[in-house]
Structure 1
Amino acid sequence: MNNLRVRRLRTISILTLIGTLSLTGVPATQAADDAGGRRLGTSTEHSSGTRPKPTVVLVHGAWADSSGWAKVTRDLQAQGYQVLAPPTPLRGLPEDSDYLSAFLRDRTTGPVVLVGHSYGGAVITNAAKSDKDVEALVYINAFVPDEGDSVLGLLDPNHQLDPADLFEFVRYPGAPEGDYDLYLKQSVFPDAIANGIPARDAAEMAAAQRPVTLSALTDESDAPAWKSVPSFYLLGTQDHIVPVTLQRAMAENAGAKITEVKAGHLPMITNPHVVEKLITEADRSTPAR
């Protein structure tokens, strides 16, 4: 069989595959990528063609899930970014960081911009060290621990808060002695987490909240990735759970570029374009590796 015939048969096979997948609901552009050997989750080229666009990985915080990133995801996808928003187990800082490290290893190829909200900031701070392809860290109203810090330690260094005023404690199967799943009280959730969100939506979010373990909030952080990876921080000036002074102190300690927004704890829902803009800025500000 001559080379021309081989090339024709190969082209026909690929076109047939694309047509078949299109009939089953798989976009033709995706089929073309797969037929050409590209893995799902890989980055796409910048319009300039000089470097690939990074995959943006969005990491949610405690009492939340990945659905909070929906508006930001749409904004980024419209610009051609590959976006992934994995679930965080919320079982412990080492466990959650290891989970994200495995996700980055197995679901991404090429450069990554890693974005964390609230407790998710602590997770990306620890997980990013495992992946040399992480080119920038973006913190959204997030905890940015230094080595030895814990989330609760940062939030309440003088132990002035009474956890019983904030949380409902639920024992979970296999819990170590003294550990619990923590749910924010229904009366606390709307103002603490969801200020700026319509009351009906905030009540629904409170009902569907995912618990975080007490140990996750008291685990000490390891050596931080921000010491070697450029970082950016979105500071919500109306946050009722992570004080503005704490946000600023953590961001400055990490040497992050700070952007302020008049928003509560969930700017990815109330101000998604601001969040998207900071993520794209982080991408553009990072030199190709």
Structure 2
Amino acid sequence: MSRTARSRRLTAAAVLLLAGSLATGTGAADAATHPSTNHTQAKPTVVLVHGAWADGASFGSIQARLTHDGYTVLTFANPLKSLRTDSADLNSFLKVKTTGPVILVGHSYGGAVITEAATTDPRVRGLVYIDAFVPDQGESVLGLATSATPGDPSAAFDAVPYAGAPAGDAELYLTKGAFDATFATGLPKNQQQDLFARQEPVTLGALSQKATAPAWKTLPSWYVAGTDDKSIPLALQQKMATRAHSQVTTVKAGHLAMLQHPATITHVIEEAATSTR
């Protein structure tokens, strides 16, 4: 097919799509097609960024609630390889997959990723942290974690070599004991077992890499802190949230607060989305 013919087909498809939207009265599609006519009413896209040892499914209930409330929701498949490249990949994802304003939501290590990534995309309007690391310039996730819980963290991990790894790097999986005791606390045993089997490893390099200029210094932020979190102690969560001038909500939950309190966290995300419009 020639380029001209392909262009005509794409143009025709776009016209049909617009016509269908107008015929059915779909306001969201109309706003997306004519953003300038309804800018103040457009809801930001919510992008969910999971952390280490988790995946996008951990946001399932929150995603469903936000979608029900009329938000466009996307889940970024965090590579968990390097803070710098993970953040760059998130930037690329935002450029290709989103239009208009964005709210970034990060859990655990994902908090460091959104902190790094949001500095280079002016469309990001706010940051929501869930049991998350919020590093300042020169800080690493591992450094923050060990500052709150001194000792050798290596006993909690099974280190697995991976192809193309820099010297000394490895993928880190949580051991079963550490996973249940620090990561999946407060969840039923069968759910802990399922999550343990599906955990996504993070590299030592990603946890050790130091952050650059943090986006929370120029963007509003919200923080949901689990009071029973054994991965990031509550005192450290509160310290990071206070430093970032975040609006803080506490929930009685472990490190995976989004599985235990999806309604509360959805409310916080929607508050962030409404406040930044």
TM over 0.5: yes
Provide the C-alpha distance between the structure 2 equivalents of 1:209 and 1:69, rounded to a whole number of angstroms: 14
CA separation of 1:238 and 1:29: change in aligned 2, threshold 3 A: farther
User: Unaligned regions of 5+ residues in structure 1, if any?
Assistant: 1-9, 19-27
Shift of 1:158: 7.9
Work out which of the residue numbers 107, 115, 122 in structure 2 matches 1:125: 115
| 1:1-289 superposed matches below 5 A | 14=16, 33=29, 38=33, 50-157=40-147, 160-286=150-276, 288=277
Cα contact 1:186–1:207 (8 A) shared by 2 = no
In the TM superposition, what whole-angstrom CA distance separates every residue of 1:119-155 from its partner, at most 9, and x where no partner exists? 0000000000111011110000100000000001001
Provide the C-alpha distance between the structure 2 equivalents of 1:161 and 1:169, rounded to a whole number of angstroms: 17
Partner SS state of residue 168, structure 2? coil
Provide the C-alpha distance between the structure 2 equivalents of 1:159 and 1:266, rounded to a whole number of angstroms: 19
AA aligned opposite 1:125: T
Partner SS state of residue 264, structure 1? coil
Shift of 1:251: 0.5
Partner SS state of residue 16, structure 2? helix
Partner SS state of residue 105, structure 2? strand
Segment of structure 1 superposing worse, 195-204 or 117-126:
195-204
CA separation of 1:254 and 1:29: change in aligned 2, threshold 3 A: same
Cα contact 1:144–1:250 (8 A) shared by 2 = yes
Cα contact 2:148–2:233 (8 A) shared by 1 = no
CA separation of 1:146 and 1:282: change in aligned 2, threshold 3 A: same
Provide the C-alpha distance between the structure 1 equivalents of 2:29 and 2:238, rounded to a whole number of angstroms: 43
Cα contact 1:235–1:244 (8 A) shared by 2 = yes
* Larger gyration radius, structure 1 or structure 2: 1
TM-score by length of 2: 0.87
Partner SS state of residue 233, structure 1? strand
Structure 1 counterpart of 2:6: none
Structure 2 counterpart of 1:7: none
CA separation of 1:37 and 1:207: change in aligned 2, threshold 3 A: closer
Structure 2 counterpart of 1:4: none
In the TM superposition, what whole-angstrom CA distance separates every residue of 1:219-240 from its partner, at most 9, and x where no partner exists? 0001000111101111110101
Cα contact 2:161–2:169 (8 A) shared by 1 = yes
AA aligned opposite 1:155: A
Cα contact 2:140–2:209 (8 A) shared by 1 = yes
Over aligned residues, Cα RMSD in angstroms?
2.6
Identity %: 47
Partner SS state of residue 169, structure 1? strand
Shift of 1:51: 2.6
Partner SS state of residue 193, structure 2? helix
Shift of 1:29: 8.0
TM-score by length of 1: 0.84
Provide the C-alpha distance between the structure 1 equivalents of 2:29 and 2:154, rounded to a whole number of angstroms: 53
User: Unaligned regions of 5+ residues in structure 2, if any?
Assistant: 1-11
Provide the C-alpha distance between the structure 2 equivalents of 1:144 and 1:164, rounded to a whole number of angstroms: 22
Matched residues, number: 260
Provide the C-alpha distance between the structure 2 equivalents of 1:123 and 1:213, rounded to a whole number of angstroms: 14
Cα contact 2:148–2:236 (8 A) shared by 1 = no
